[in-house]
Amino acid sequence: MSDIGGYGLIKYDTKKFNLQAGIRIDARSIEAESYENSEEEGELFVHDLDSEPTTPNDTISEHEVELEKEYNPFSFSIGGCYHLNENFTIKINGATGFTAPNYAQLGTFGVHEGTYRFEWGNPNLDIEQNIEGDLGFIWENSFMSFNLSGYMNSIDNFIYIAAYGDSIQKIAPVQSQMYPVYYYQQANATISGLEAGFDINPPSLKFIDLKVTYAMTKGELERGGNLPYIPSSKLIGEIKLSKNKMGKLNSPYVSVIVSNYFKQNNVAQYELSSDGYTLLDFHVGTSFKSGKQMAIVDLYCTNLLNTAYFNQLSLVKYIGVGDMGRNIGVQIHLPLFLKN
C-alpha cells in the first residue's frame, strides 16, 4: 500500500469571526498477491440459515483474490465561528472526506478467531466519499458552560460488514465447525447525531465541578434499514471534588462518574439489540514533588458495581461474552531526567 497527498489551508480571523478552509488531494494504490485455500485447511460449505445444515448450497474448493487498486480522492473543508458576544458562540462547518477500502475489506476470506465468525471481503469495493455539515452553539461564563451541536453526514458507497443469514461449515480433518458469514459491502448511507452538555463550577463552591453530557447517533441506509454497529445513546454525569493543595499533595481530586447507556432498538438485520445498562466509575488522584519533578498518581475503579452488560459495539456478544467487569488499576507518572 502506498499513499501520497497534498493539502492547503487558509485561515482568517477577526475579533468576532474565525474562518478556516482547506483542500486536499490524495493518491492511494493497493496491491495484494493471490490467496488459495489449501487442502489441509479443509473444505468450506456455504449454508442458508433457512435450509438444513446437512445440505450445503455451495462448495468452496478454493478462493483467489488478486488486488490492484488505484484511488484518487479529493476533499475539502470550511468552517466558521461567530462570537455573538463574550458569552455566546455559533459554529458551523461543512466538509467532505474519503475512506479507501483497506486490504481486510477487499480480500479477507476466513475465520476471524476473535469474533467467531467467517469474514468475506469484497474486491469490488469503491472509494467511500462523504459530505457533512454540523452546527453548534456554545454559551459560557466564568463558572458555567453549555453546548449543543448536531451533524448530518451523507456518505456515498459506505463500507460496512454485516451478516445476511448464511453460514459456513468448515470440514477439517480434525474438527468440523459452523460459522456465521459476514460480508463486506457498500451502499449509500446517512449518519446523523446530536450532542449536548453542560459544565458547572460554582464560584462559592470552587472545589466542586459537575459535568453532564448526552450523545446519540443514528445510521440509516438510503435504500431503507439501519446500519449495523451504531452505538447506543448515552448520558454521562461526573462529579469531581478537588483542591489546589492539601498538605504536601498538589491538586488532589476525587471523581465519581455515572454512565447510562440506553437500549439500542435501531439495529440492522441479524444484528442483536443491546439492553440498557448503567456503569459507575471511581477515580482518585494527586501529584507530589519527586526531586525536582512532579509525580502523578491515579487510582481508578471502572464498573465499580460489577454490572453485567453487553456493549452494542461488542464483537463477541454473539457468543455470550460480556464486557469488562470491575476493573481496578493504578497509574503512576514519574518523570525521569538527566542532569547536564
Query: Quick one: DSSP state of residue 319?
Result: G
Instruction: Please give the Cα distance from 39 to 60 (Å, whole number).
Output: 11
In this structure, are 14 and 31 located in the same domain?
Answer: yes
Same domain assignment for residues 68 and 126: yes
* Coil, strand or helix at 187: strand
Whether residues 222 and 247 fall in one domain:
no
Q: Tell me what pLDDT residue 236 has.
A: 98
Integer angstrom CA distances of residue 104 from 144, 163, 331: 46, 16, 35
Q: CB of 165 within 8 A of CB of 112? A: no
Do 198 and 274 fall into the same domain? no
Tell whether 36 and 113 lie within a shared domain. yes
H/E element, 140: strand 128-140
Cβ atoms within 10 Å, residue 168: 21
Cell numbers given for 111: 475465520
Q: Please tell me the predicted confidence (pLDDT) of residue 60.
A: 57
| Shared domain check, 314 and 268 | yes
Residues of the domain holding 30: 1-230
CATH number where 6 lies: 2.40.170.20
- Is there a single domain that holds both residue 43 and residue 122? yes
Q: What is the value of pTM for the model shown?
A: 0.83
109-224-318 Cα angle (round to 5): 45
Rounded CA separation 250/234 (Å): 33
Are 248 and 204 in a shared domain?
no
d(CA 268, CA 223): 13
How would you class 220 by CB atoms within 10 Å of its CB: exposed for 0-12, middle for 13-18, buried for 19 or more?
Answer: middle
4 forms beta bridges with 27
Same domain, 225 and 303: no
Domain C-terminal end among 204, 230, 256: 230
- The single residue listed with the C-alpha cell 483542591 is 243
Residue 104 in 3-state DSSP? helix
List of the chain residues with pLDDT < 70: 34-65, 170-175, 337-340
Q: Say how far apart CA 76 and CA 105 lie, in whole Å.
A: 25
Residues with Cβ < 8 Å from 257, sequence gap 6 or more? Answer: 236, 237, 238, 280, 281, 282, 283
Structurally, the chain folds into a number of domains equal to 2
23 in Cβ contact with 1 (< 8 Å): no
Domain end position, chosen among 230, 249, 266: 230
> In terms of domains, do 28 and 163 share one?
yes
Domain boundary among 176, 203, 230: 230
- Alpha-carbon distance of 98 to 96, in angstroms, equals 7
Regarding whether 277 and 187 lie in a shared domain, the answer is no
Of 2, 22, 49, 331, the C-alpha closest to 181 is 49
What would the grid cell of residue 307 be?
A: 454490572
Distance CA 219, CA 125 (A): 20
Helices and strands (DSSP H and E) totals, the chain? 1, 19
Within this chain, do residues 13 and 158 fall inside the same structural domain, yes or no?
Answer: yes
Residue 261 DSSP symbol: E
